[in-house]
Structure 1
């Protein structure tokens, strides 16, 4: 296995905001607490240790024991759950939706980044303990985002009517998906293991939360991963004071709105990731998850007939905190209130919206975690690596836009040098002399000279383009092979990790896949990882 690293900005797949963040652009410093490097964690440990109480630890430990009571818990995971009671234990968290059969490949990268970081931190800070956490987004209601996975160009989709929190959904109907998937993947030993994993997760568990917990635990239990379900009455009791600040004082709305204005002033190239609402909580009950809206001194549950007075809403919070579900703005705060957390690991889009939240955390007197962009990776098979080598395509070349890649390689392999840069430079030199002559004679002709220069440059560009097209036709076979290979490595001209399911690679590598990724991914190396199998 060969491992190469590329700067994120060289891949063309990351926003300017994220590229600037990993490059430590000083303009972004007000948006985060500490930078994700080894030294940054020292101060984070001290700050979180002062804020996180033993009472919070006891609630967390009790809830985790309860959540794991029906799970085959490994010794490593059980030990980590017990460590949560200790004042010198801290967590590293990643979160993800309950995508069917893990969804895109980066689900694995998120969790592996998290586990690897806990190992690195233990070496650097041996007096503390570090527990990797996967936060299941059980309360999301975007069923269409999670009800499918892709496999070898096919989309395996769970078709059903769904509403409310996806974690509550019964797994009925997944037998059909399992049957189709089983017929597709063959009967190799690796295929049989995948079938068993799917069947045991989705056909032997009653809802999507329990199925996802089983699946994730099976993949990562040997690494001590602890899986947290925030849809928990005891955990939400600790959130009640923060719910009240959000709903009745609109603290998050005010602070996040101010931060968004600050971000827009820093750069127009930083688009707003999420906008806050006046109330950032849903009401969760009986198959519904709808926004709470204030109207005429009452609190209404959107799209329902449910309503509360202020006093009634407070009473409902105290009696049934589990019925209040944080949205994308409030959920990060919930996580940091109930966990002794140091760092959140997420994708570019996630880190972008976390960068909007620091002021809201400060107003709530909750330490803001370190933000780490998860590892991104590209796996190149041995066969693909051989093809790249034969066509003399480098690791950086394959990230070029397809037209740019073709043009670059056609120039390299063509027996005609189709590069008019020397001619353009000569043209510019000639026009310099013309500008000098015009200045001496009649300056009113400067515009005409400039227009002529632009016209001739355009003519050269057009001729260069036509000759390149002619060469492409002559070298059509090479162009086709390059295009097919790049499309194979970047399905739908997107990052592999956003399109493919882990099972494609499990078929090839089996039980070696996850250890291979653990070896290749370094969470504090803020670059893109290219893994080439030899």
Structure 2
């Protein structure tokens, strides 16, 4: 199984912000607590152990037992749930939206990175236990982001009425999606297993949260993955003291906004901007912002109103009705989990990196932040085509027009670079400039205009020659275009577009073990695997 790798910066698909974080640039040092190196986990363990209470562990284990009551729990997962009661047990967590049938491939890579890091940590620190957690984003309300997945270039979409948190959405209408998917996927052992997975998950469970829990459990139960839904009365009861301070003192706003501004002053883009109150209110079919004006609290776009004392009473009696937004959700996670490290994509880590001061204000240990594994999987046939076309790994990641132009220049029997002609032209005009300086400014301007015109003419000729060569070398250009389109669907990373079902048809039940065996969460490079 040959593999290659490339620095994230060289892929051109990751922001300078994240690449600078991975390079541990000094400018970002104040935005994280500890960098995710294996040796740094010892102090992280000690700090979290001192902070996390046995009472929280008992609540967590009880809630998980209840949430798993409707599905078959593997021995490995059950052991991990029981271990969470113990003071020597810690979690490694990733989170993801409830994308239909897992959505893009990186859903798998997030979870595999999480599982593999727990294995590495157990080998390094055998006196402790490490549990992989998948946090289901059941309170998210961006339905348009999750109601489809791509299969062989086609969008398989669930059309239903939107509104409110997605976790409680009933699964009506997914029988039609199943019919469409079944028709596309065909037959065969692996295809039939995929159909069974979809049917069991979405047609035999009442809501999207239950369906997603079943699916993720089926894919990863052998590896002890523990799946948690934070939208729970008992878990949110643990978070009430911090939500009270958010409502009254606006702690997040006061601590995150300066950090976001500091990022922008350093030349980076702030991923999120805090609101004065960073909580939503949940009701049936609705998840709307809580807003305060002159001591009166109300739910945006509704008639719900409270005084200060009334909203605190509502919070303490019904904490499940209060939903943290993107700013507070990370803190909520770290309050209810004995967590050491959060594993996410570049966009996720970007907003986490704004939150360190907020965590410190609330006296909650800031977790390590680890970029999930990123992977391109190609066939041996595709790898052979890359070799025959003499394309390097770095060139593969170029924008298509840049890649084609570069390869045409390389394989053409004509020199398509007019730099020598430009240099010669500029040398000729240098003499004219000497002459122009002895006359008047109007002549000097005329010389400048003529030079600009002739250099532009060379640019046009060079482009026309390049276009002509692209046509002449059309066969090579076509093969190169087809190959890159295969490896970068819709001119995007494979992992951000392709659904796991396409790979499962090829590799079947070996897919997850193959990823578990191959991915190293601490490697810190983009991996290209030939399989």
Equivalence map 1:121-520=2 (5 Å):
121-267=121-267, 270-425=268-423, 454-520=452-518
Contact 1:3/1:520 (8 A) holds in 2 = no
Q: Which secondary structure does the structure 2 equivalent of 1:237 belong to?
A: helix
Deviations 1:184-240 (A, max 9, x none): 111110000000100111111111111100000000001111001101111111100
Deviations 1:15-54 (A, max 9, x none): 1111111111110111111111112222211211111111
In 2: Cα distance, 1:9 partner to 1:347 partner = 14
Q: CA deviation at 1:162?
A: 2.8
* Higher alpha-carbon deviation: 303-312 or 442-451: 442-451
* Higher alpha-carbon deviation: 514-523 or 498-507: 514-523
Closer, same or farther: CA 256–466 of 1 in aligned 2, 3 Å:
same
In 2: Cα distance, 1:461 partner to 1:371 partner = 47
- Equivalenced residue count is 530
Q: CA deviation at 1:460?
A: 2.9
Aligned equivalent of 2:37? 37
Deviations 1:290-340 (A, max 9, x none): 111112321111122211111111111111111111111110000000001
In 1: Cα distance, 2:479 partner to 2:447 partner = 45
Q: CA deviation at 1:252?
A: 0.1
Contact 2:436/2:447 (8 A) holds in 1 = no
Aligned equivalent of 2:106? 106
Contact 1:104/1:499 (8 A) holds in 2 = yes
In 2: Cα distance, 1:232 partner to 1:32 partner = 29
Q: CA deviation at 1:422?
A: 3.7
Contact 2:261/2:270 (8 A) holds in 1 = no
Aligned equivalent of 1:7? 7
Q: Which secondary structure does the structure 2 equivalent of 1:166 belong to?
A: coil
Q: CA deviation at 1:484?
A: 2.0
In 2: Cα distance, 1:6 partner to 1:487 partner = 19
Q: CA deviation at 1:454?
A: 4.7
In 2: Cα distance, 1:252 partner to 1:299 partner = 17
Contact 2:83/2:89 (8 A) holds in 1 = yes
* Higher alpha-carbon deviation: 378-387 or 26-35: 378-387
TM, length-normalised to structure 2: 0.95
Aligned equivalent of 1:91? 91
In 2: Cα distance, 1:182 partner to 1:395 partner = 36
Contact 2:382/2:483 (8 A) holds in 1 = yes
Q: CA deviation at 1:425?
A: 4.7
Q: CA deviation at 1:439?
A: 11
Contact 1:76/1:224 (8 A) holds in 2 = yes
Q: CA deviation at 1:391?
A: 1.9
* Higher alpha-carbon deviation: 457-466 or 336-345: 457-466
In 1: Cα distance, 2:426 partner to 2:82 partner = 73
Contact 1:89/1:128 (8 A) holds in 2 = yes
Q: Which secondary structure does the structure 2 equivalent of 1:39 belong to?
A: helix
What RMSD, in angstroms, separates the aligned Cα atoms of the two structures? 1.9
Contact 2:291/2:298 (8 A) holds in 1 = yes
Contact 2:437/2:444 (8 A) holds in 1 = no
In 2: Cα distance, 1:462 partner to 1:45 partner = 62
Aligned equivalent of 1:525? 523
Q: Which secondary structure does the structure 2 equivalent of 1:239 belong to?
A: helix
In 2: Cα distance, 1:433 partner to 1:45 partner = 72
In 2: Cα distance, 1:510 partner to 1:425 partner = 59
Closer, same or farther: CA 294–217 of 1 in aligned 2, 3 Å:
same
Contact 2:339/2:367 (8 A) holds in 1 = yes
In 2: Cα distance, 1:53 partner to 1:431 partner = 78
Q: CA deviation at 1:443?
A: 11
Q: Which runs of 5+ in 2 are unaligned?
A: none
Closer, same or farther: CA 449–233 of 1 in aligned 2, 3 Å:
same
Aligned equivalent of 1:49? 49
Closer, same or farther: CA 376–443 of 1 in aligned 2, 3 Å:
farther
In 1: Cα distance, 2:477 partner to 2:305 partner = 63
Closer, same or farther: CA 440–277 of 1 in aligned 2, 3 Å:
closer
Q: Which runs of 5+ in 1 are unaligned?
A: none
Q: CA deviation at 1:438?
A: 6.7
TM, length-normalised to structure 1: 0.95
In 2: Cα distance, 1:162 partner to 1:266 partner = 39
Aligned equivalent of 1:71? 71
